Chains A and B, each alone.
Chain A
Amino acid sequence: MINFKYFVKGFISVRGIDSPALALGASLIAIGAIYKNLGFSFQESFLSTLFTYALPGQVVMAESMLVGASLFNIFIAVWLVNTRLYPMTVSLMPLMMHESQPRWKYYLFSHFVAVSAWLIMKSNYEKIKKENRIDYWFGIGTATISIAILSTIIGYLISDYLNKDMLIGLAIVNPIYFMCMMIGSMKSVQISLSIIFGALLGPSFYFISPEWCILYGGFISGTIAFFIGEKK
């Protein structure tokens, strides 16, 4: 059912000194500490990372709880910030779909679509034969979600020892790491322009709508980059 060889191959692809484990771990330690302060139990913080596994959504959830937002409003806010997972999934799954593999694997393992696993898969998939990619992806996803859960637990347990300066340090690591990783993946005109326009337009649209800026900015930048790249 699962080709173990490729699972392991994917699992160990997150090791190494420049692994996203560093950035992923740092920000989820911070989330663990936030959960503790919000009054989550140990199991609740663990399960939240296991079932959601998308950092910005977890941050939005925590912030909404702090201001006492309704369940409906939490749903909308989280859905909005995590809608980016839709184009991310669509730009990943066709690379892995193979008729020899059962459909359920794609629906179940789509849970691992998040920036760290996604960027690792995008830079490694060509090395793996198409029919084995979904098992390889399962390995990457299992490794990254394990790091995320473990870091949440660590953050929860050490929250009393984390001061403001340490939390600021943990918070900067994530965007810097992923911004550099994205710059590293600029290998075609389309992707490079998508990243540059997205980074400029996303924050610009914040002045029009803080909630929708990522989607507006992302949609317009990606579409312009696509047409420029196609014309070339």
Chain B
Amino acid sequence: MTTSIALVIVVTSVATYLSRFLGVLSSEKIKETSKIYRWFNCLAYSTLAALIARMMIFPSGALIEVDYSIRIIVLIASILIFYLGKKNLVYPTVFSAIMLYFLSILL
């Protein structure tokens, strides 16, 4: 292993575990019935939603190549399919990849 890559992996892992560790430490004093627990629960869902929405609207990596209007059409259509398909997760997921492929060719 080259030192630099190994070091980067260690640094990344420590930076990631830090939040998990502090999370457990704080949890020692938090009851699941408390107000502060409910607040953290809201924060967890809202930051996750913020992250996922950012991945679609301001992506990094391969999705940059796709025009943002196509990404938004695929997102809205997938959510509709999710509701129409009685909240089955497979339909929107498979459909999103197929739709993205055809829209990129057509537009």
Interface residues of A, Cβ cutoff 8 Å to B = 17-18, 22-23, 30, 34, 39-41, 43-44, 47-48, 51-54, 56-59, 61, 63, 65, 71, 74-76, 78-79, 81-95, 97, 106-107, 110-111, 113, 115, 118, 164-165, 167-185, 190-191, 193-203, 205-206, 210, 213-215, 217-219, 221-223, 225-226, 229-230
| A140 to B: closest C-beta gap in Å | 15
B106 contacts the other chain (CB 8 A): no
| Contact between chains at A86 and B22 (CB < 8 Å) | yes
| B47 to A: closest C-beta gap in Å | 3
| Contact between chains at B27 and A223 (CB < 8 Å) | no
| Contact between chains at A230 and B38 (CB < 8 Å) | yes
Sample of 5 A–B contacts (CB below 8 Å): A39-B5, A65-B8, A79-B19, A89-B23, A197-B46
Residues of A within 8 A of B97 (CB): 169-170, 172-173
Interface of B is mostly: helix
| Residues in B5-47 with C-beta less than 8 Å from chain A | 5-24, 26-28, 30-32, 35, 37-47
Closest to B5 in A: A44
Interface residues of B, Cβ cutoff 8 Å to A = 1, 5-24, 26-28, 30-32, 35, 37-63, 65-66, 71, 74-75, 78-79, 82, 87-90, 92-93, 96-97, 100-101, 104
| B94 to A: closest C-beta gap in Å | 8
| Contact between chains at B53 and A202 (CB < 8 Å) | yes
Residues of B within 8 A of A78 (CB): 11-12, 15-16
